[in-house]
Amino acid sequence: MFPAGRFPIGRCEALGKPMRLVIQRVREARVEVDDRSVGAIGPGLLVLVAVAKSDTPSNADYLVEKLLGLRIFPDDAGKMNRSVVESGGSLLVVSNFTLYGDCRKGRRPSFDQSATPDQARDLYEYFVAKLRAREAPVQTGIFQAAMSVRLINDGPVTLICDSD
């Protein structure tokens, strides 16, 4: 047993926030930087990605599998029973550290759980590379850029998926 309030290092890391995705099924989506389109898809998934301080490549690996396997597209009977891969859809992946905004205290969100920009960029790029190595086409925004995201929801179907 460990003294009250003290944990081994591995346990402390496990208590951190998980990597987070907000997934929206879309008819189409695009992301623009300086009024210029940098990524666009037709039917598929818009995926907003947040990386926490405690995240590792294993968190990203888990979310790649989860994202590509989610059965949230309709089959011939209209039941959500197909993945983005099975439906022939694409992915638009956009970094978004504000998904870790904590609004419980005060009026200004705290982003203490978000990874540093360098750590987040490395894990975001790892996540995108793992997706690109798979079956669905992938487009992205530009990391740390001020982006405008335009989309037409399909459903709407919106899910939050954490890596824990």
> pLDDT tens-digit profile of 23-78?
999 999 999 999 999 999 999 999 999 999 999 999 999 999 999 999 999 999 99
- Residue 20, Cβ density class (10 Å: 0-12 exposed, 13-18 middle, ≥19 buried): buried
User: What is residue 164's predicted lDDT score, i.e. its pLDDT?
Assistant: 81
Share of the chain above pLDDT 70, in %: 90
Q: What is the mean pLDDT of residues 116-123?
A: 96
Please give the model's pTM, rounded to 2 decimal places.
0.88
Cross-strand partners of 150: 30
- Residue 23's SS3 state is strand
Neighbours of 144 (CB within 10 A): 12
**Which residues does 150 contact at the CB level (< 8 Å), separation at least 6?**
29, 30, 31, 32
pLDDT band at residue 119 using 50, 70 and 90 as cut-offs: very high
Domains of the chain, CATH where assigned: 10-162 (3.50.80.10)
Please say if the pLDDT value at position 115 is more than 90: yes
